[in-house]
Amino acid sequence: MGIKNHTGSEYTFAPGLMNDAFEYFIDSSQRMILLWDILRKRGNNYIEHESKGKPPLLIFDYEMILDGRTFELSPVNYSLVRIIPGKGVDTDPKKRPIVIIDPRAGHGPGIGGFKQDSEIGMAVSKGHPVYFILFYPDPIPGQTLTDVSAAEVRFIEEVKKLHPDAEDPSVIGNCQGGWASMLIGADRPDITGPLVIAGSPLSYWSGVSGINPMRYKGGLTGGSWLTSFLSDLGNGKFDGANLVAGFEDLNPANTYWKKLYNVYSNVDTEEQRYLDFERWWGGYFSMTSEEIHYIVDNLFIGNRLEQGNLELGKDKLINLENLEDPVVVFASKGDNITPPQQALNWIAKIYGSVEEIKRRQQVLVYIVHESVGHLGIFVSGSVAKKEHKEIVESLDQIEYLPPGLYEMIIEDSEDKLLGDYNVRFEERGIEDILALDDGFEDEKDFIVVASVSDMSDKLYQTYLSPWIRLFTNEFNAEILRQLHPLRFFKYSISDQNPYILPFKYFAPVVKDHRKPVNSDNMFCIMEKNYSDLIESTLNIYRDTRDKNIEYSFKSIYRNPWVKLWFGGDGEKESDTENPEKVQERINKLVQEDRKHWLEAMDKGGFTEGVMRIMLAVANADRKLDRSEFWAIERIGSSHKKLKKLKKSELKQIAKEQSRVLQTDHDSAISSLPVILSTKIDRKDAVKIAEKIIKADGVFAEEEKTMLNNIKKVLEI
């Protein structure tokens, strides 16, 4: 009697079982040798990268534009570089430039362009001049986040000067780079175009109970005093390896098993991908004590950016209400570092309603991926070729969208001649964002955390910090950095270790005599089952640990005595304002705004009239297809009357006419004969509307009705 495998065939103990065992033994031994050789190469790469000063891991050539280290006032360890396109790729200096800001959250720069299928690769392939804001391993002593933000503003200003005939630069920010770009957009909306924030936290207290435990960790460790302590041990510098260790701790199954097992089980194909990623993942960059303390206190614990009271320099408050350019938010349900709630809830908190978004003439677009993880948002080739590619292609069209909140829908195209994907923008409400969360009630606990953090850090700074700094110098700080487990396990498995060196010579021999086992081998199947068991066990540990973290957090910070001493009743100051007065102020603003656009109904000429008609027809089915906006752009650049206008002027008119339509759609249509006074203009406008309808290849019933209504009003 034998044992059946997954295909239904039967193993016999002799000779089938022995053959399987022998083949598996050879294969697994070879894979183990090759795995150790890959880890050896990883260690060598780490040492080589360190010896070269940890340069950016970009596969694209670049040239220096501005070096922040040479600034006379407030120098920083940041630089602006221009990406040099490869052979056969041309960029148009008149096209909108794109500036990419990578995260400085423990790792080095380069994740936005360390392979061809990346954000930089997609932007360059579309002919955009691309700039990259990179940074160096060690900060300038005393450097602050205010200094960094001022330098980034200067970089964007420089890009704008270099392209005087192009529209304002679009800024793409990844993770930490996302909120950095939002600081720029809120501070200087005059120099930025559309902002794209990918996997970036802006609502730091948000999350779903039982699912997003990372937000609780700061409270359980007592707040920001720990970052002060680690900075003191680093002689005034905070080691980025500590941040990376925190990320790795989120998913122990992946960190301690799955990542390495994936290389081991696919050792013949995974080597280069793994080594390329580890070169970036294993490059640890530092921050000054001032930088990390500001970030933790004001953003992650204080949540001041969302609340609109973030101090950035003397007498300067950053408020996201000051944003004027369109914002595209890219989040994922599979992201356990920046869940969708942290990426999106600021919209509900700041604006409160879609009507308020429209009143402010703001365009907000979001994409929520169903499964990709945090790093996948930046490094996944499939995400780059789909989401990032389509976002870059849509940047100009997004500025034609009527003010409001939209979800960007990307679907496979049936007609590949028109492109790989169809893109449309569907109107959404604040309730669609709120549906991703389980309410804001649990966020009151973090107000208490902020109070505890402030007290604990003051105690540490007063009683312990002076003693720690007394016995710390750069020599012993560097020893501590080199003994960090994440560094130790890299350089200890390298050619510097004589016990590892033999794998350098074993691996080529193994590759020459490689005998991979068949996938239906009984022992291979057992191996994969055991791997799944180990992964499941570690996941159970993680889930249990996370539930304990959440339970402990709530037990502490919902305790009435803790609230009494540190958080009062857990209400923010803004919440104490008389709700009736708040509503009265809002109603007054709404009425003033409505009056303004009602007065604009019959103002303008051909340009305003034809733009109003184009937008009314395009939005008739409440689904704005990107091809319709392409058609608007083509008409704007070719029509004898419209081509006299700059793109920026055309987009401003589109925004204004959108508000006219949103304020009173019927009156906006009925007043068309006033601004399109001649029969020639009316017929011309209707012809243009027909072109818009045909742009997406779908003649929707709502569009047909709208066009007939416009013809009737214009008496055509």
The residue whose two tokens read 């089952």 is: 529
Residue type for 352, please?
G
Average pLDDT value for residue range 660-664: 94
Is residue 5 pLDDT above 80, yes or no? no
Residue 401: count of CB within 10 angstroms of its CB: 24
Residue-wise pLDDT for 234-251, tens only, equals: 999 999 999 999 999 999
DSSP 8-state symbol, 13: I
The two three-digit tokens of residue 649, written as one number: 């002027």
pLDDT at 576: 44
pTM of the model: 0.92
Average pLDDT value for residue range 648-676: 92
Pick the range with the lowest mean pLDDT from 30-44, 130-144, 454-468, 686-700: 686-700
User: Hey, what CATH class is 61-205+303-439 in?
Assistant: alpha beta
Residue-wise pLDDT for 296-335, tens only, equals: 999 999 999 998 889 987 778 999 999 999 999 999 999 9
Residue type for 675, please?
I
The two three-digit tokens of residue 506, written as one number: 């074993």
Q: Which residues contact 267 (CB under 8 A, 6 or more apart)?
A: 31, 34, 35, 38
Residue-wise pLDDT for 581-613, tens only, equals: 767 777 888 889 999 999 999 999 999 999 999
Are the C-beta atoms of 150 and 317 separated by less than 8 Å?
A: no
pLDDT at 265: 96
E strand or H helix that includes residue 406: strand 404-412
- Residue 480's closest CA among 231, 259, 176? 231
Is residue 549 pLDDT above 60, yes or no? yes
Is residue 140 pLDDT above 70, yes or no? yes
Is residue 362 pLDDT above 90, yes or no? yes
Give the CA distances from residue 430 to residues 188, 356, 368, 546, in Å, rounded to whole numbers and listed in that order. Answer: 26, 11, 15, 30
Determine the Cα angle at 255 with ends 229 and 286, to 5°: 35
- Residue 425's closest CA among 348, 342, 362, 367? 367
At 568, the pLDDT band (50, 70, 90 cuts) reads low
- Residue 239's closest CA among 489, 481, 488? 481
Residue-wise pLDDT for 61-77, tens only, equals: 999 999 999 999 899 99
Residue-wise pLDDT for 262-271, tens only, equals: 999 999 999 9
| Residue 578: exposure state from Cβ atoms within 10 A (0-12, 13-18, ≥19) | exposed
At 574, the pLDDT band (50, 70, 90 cuts) reads very low
Give the domain ranges of the chain.
61-205+303-439, 580-714
Residue 623: count of CB within 10 angstroms of its CB: 18
Pick the range with the lowest mean pLDDT from 70-84, 435-449, 549-563, 643-657: 643-657
Query: Per this entry, what is the length of the chain?
Result: 716
Are the C-beta atoms of 693 and 699 separated by less than 8 Å?
A: yes
Are the C-beta atoms of 467 and 473 separated by less than 8 Å?
A: no
> Cα separation of 43 and 45, whole Å?
5
Fold classification of 580-714 is: TerB-like (1.10.3680)
- Residue 186's closest CA among 155, 153, 159, 160? 153
Are the C-beta atoms of 290 and 143 separated by less than 8 Å?
A: yes
Is residue 12 pLDDT above 80, yes or no? no
Residue-wise pLDDT for 663-673, tens only, equals: 999 999 999 99
